[in-house]
Structure 1
Amino acid sequence: MNERIDSWLTDMDGVLIHEGNALPGANEFITALQENNIPYLVLTNNSIFTPRDLSARLEASGLNVPEEHIWTSALATAQFLANQSQSRRAFVVGEAGLTTALYEKGFVMTEQNPDFVVLGETRTYSFEAITKAIRLIDAGARFIATNPDPSSPSAEGKIPATGAVAAMITKATGKNPYYVGKPNPVMIRNGLNKIEAHSEHTAFVGDRMDTDIQSGMEAGLQTHLVLSGSTTRSDITQYPYRPDFVHESIADVAQLVASD
């Protein structure tokens, strides 16, 4: 690498783990960062879990990632909204990862004149909650969603995720949400602020061109695509932008970090 890299951001699923198992090289990558005291964050668009939950899940897969090194779309959304409003009233459709993040920023969860309707991911979307969200948006609440991912994987196949439910609410209200998570570079920039890193000396590792590489590029980071997740080498040519580096897996990136 020609540029000096002082900090690293990395996606989680498809880069470090797959179906609960650590991918080859993931432990070496995290260990190299920690042993060299390199600032880093593990990013995920998943808003269901708290950083503590995700740290425990990563530990179960064999990766030691303290919760302060995890940055979720829920945390990014809470940080973004805390900068947007002083009254901090929100109607939330989501789980503990999102509600906890908002509580920690001083938000009150309410159906009474909320400033925001905040949509996150949940395993069981309530039609009643979606209906309430639609009516509150019609009444003037601003529509925010943690991330645009239309589906999530499960053992039985795809399940609808935030983006799909947001599309239903948009169809009913005519209002598009503001998505905070990837590919919005806001999530990346807030993460950089958290670890006091500068974009020109930070690299981002991801497995998706349309979220990871796009957001990293738009935030001004050096981008590394790994082919261990959802993107194949032939997929790259379908996009009008390119990653700075392409690797077979995080194992290749771990060697770069260890050799710096």
Structure 2
Amino acid sequence: MTHTDTQVLAYLTDMDGVLIHEGHLIPGADEFLAELRDREVPYTVLTNNSMRTPRDLAARLKVIGLDVPEDRIWTSASATAVFLNDQRPNGTAYVVGESGLTTALHEIGYVLTETDPDYVVLGETRTYSFEAITTAIRLIDKGARFIATNPDATGPSLDGVLPATGSVAALITRATGREPYYVGKPNPLIMRTALRRMDAHSGTTVMIGDRMDTDVLAGLESGCRTMLVLSGISTQESIEAYPYRPTKVLTSVADLVGHTSDPFA
């Protein structure tokens, strides 16, 4: 394999489990991003979490020691807004989610309503309301199209796992018989929108993540090489359960410091 074959010109990286863990900086993450910045390598922090806006996430990351400009952050809410704007510009939606999702939809000119919306859009929240879920079910039964920001069944917290978008989507599907269209990882759609924003090509971009079922699969299906870090949800043993493999397995992104130009050499 020649140097050209292994050259990496851009990075996509998950956030939780790769750069931060339970609200704390993962050692080496700051040095990794600093090296990309110093070398002027394009990168995007790509998260399935739709709760916060890129601006809010950038502020939160800064507090724990990671300097990531908001235009380097791409969320499943941002990708969902791009998708809906492409499918049905200036449409209407009933949203179950937080400000990250409602802000993204407002920015594309969507009207949020409970009255005959074009879409029901389900995102992440720590306070899923039974009333809101019931409203979503009734609107889908009446013909609203069902969109979900991401398929993650659980999310991390200091007290253990929490039910996430995928679990609540399953509840709505059970009640309506309608499956949502998931925009976030592993859908290559979110990868393509992120690559387009960086003006990067999948063949020279690496996807770094801590989950086989979202991060690695998304990278694989988008034509990117993949790196799985063991600083989040995955273990060396859990990799074996999947029929596909990451291009490389790392203890954490600290292993990439000093090697970002040719990480597969």
Q: Shorter-chain TM-score category?
A: over 0.9
1:98 aligns with 2:101: yes
**Partner of residue 22, structure 1:** 25
Aligned to 2:45: 42
Q: Which amino acid aligns with 1:235?
A: S
- Please give the per-residue CA displacement for 1:201-247, whole angstroms capped at 9, x wherever unaligned: 11111111111000000000011111111111122221111111111
What is the letter of the counterpart of residue 94 of structure 1? G
Residue in structure 1 matched with residue 191 of structure 2 by the alignment: 188
Counterpart position of 1:238: 241
In the TM superposition, residue 259 of structure 1 has moved relative to its aligned partner by 6.5
Alignment of 1:155-234 (within 5 A): 155-234=158-237
What is the rounded CA distance, in whole Å, between the counterparts of 1:184 and 1:133 in structure 2?
23
Deviations 1:164-195 (A, max 9, x none): 11111101100000111111111111111111
Deviations 1:48-71 (A, max 9, x none): 111111111111111100111001
Residues matched between the structures, number:
260
State whether structure 2 residue 48 is matched by structure 1 residue 55.
no
Distance 1:152 1:142, change over 3 A: same
- Whole-angstrom distance in 1 between the partners of 2:105 and 2:156: 26
Alpha-carbon separation, structure 1, partners of 2:11 and 2:158: 31
TM-score, length of structure 1 as denominator length: 0.96
Task: Measure, in 2, the Cα distance between the counterparts of 1:258 and 1:140.
Answer: 50
Shift of 1:249: 0.9
| Cα distance in 1 between the residues matched to 2:117 and 2:258 | 49
Structure 2 SS opposite 1:122: coil
Q: Which runs of 4+ in 1 moved over 3 A?
A: none
Q: Can you list the C-alpha shifts for 1:73-111, whole angstroms capped at 9, x where unaligned?
A: 111111111111134111101110000011111111011
What is the match of residue 142 of structure 1? 145
Q: Does the aligned pair in 2 maintain the 1:8–1:40 contact within 8 Å?
A: yes
Which of 119, 123, 134 in structure 2 is aligned with 1:120? 123
Hey, what's the Cα distance between the residues in 2 that align with 1:107 and 1:32? 39
Q: Within 1, Cα distance between the matches of 2:143 and 2:95?
A: 15
Counterparts of 1:74 and 1:24 in 2: how far apart (Å)? Answer: 28
Letter in 2 for 1:41: T
- Judged with a 3 Å threshold, the aligned counterparts in structure 2 of structure 1 residues 66 and 87 are, in CA distance, closer, same or farther, namely closer
Distance 1:5 1:168 in 2: 41
Aligned partners of 2:53 and 2:103 also within 8 Å: yes
Q: Is residue 32–residue 258 contact of structure 1 (8 Å, CA) maintained in 2?
A: no
CA distance in structure 2 between the aligned counterparts of 1:86 and 1:21, rounded to whole angstroms: 39
Shift of 1:153: 2.2
Task: Kindly provide the amino acid, as one letter, of the partner of residue 209 in structure 2.
Answer: G
Task: Find the counterpart in structure 2 of residue 254 from structure 1.
Answer: 257
Q: CA deviation at 1:21?
A: 1.4
* SS at structure 2 position matched to 1:90: strand
Task: Report the more deviating stretch, 167-176 or 85-94.
Answer: 85-94
Instruction: Report the Cα offset of residue 199 of structure 1.
Output: 0.7
In the alignment, is the contact (CA less than 8 A) between 2:186 and 2:218 conserved in 1?
yes
Unaligned runs of 5+ in 1: none
- Give the partner amino acid of 1:188: M
Q: Are the equivalent residues in 2 in contact too, given 1:203–1:223 (CA < 8 A)?
A: yes
CA apart distance, 1:158: 2.4
- 1:18-46 alpha-carbon deviations (Å, 9 max, x no partner): 11111121011100111111111001111
Cα distance in 2 for partners of 1:3, 1:157 equals: 38
1:71 corresponds to which of 60, 70, 74: 74
Q: Secondary structure at the match of 2:94?
A: strand
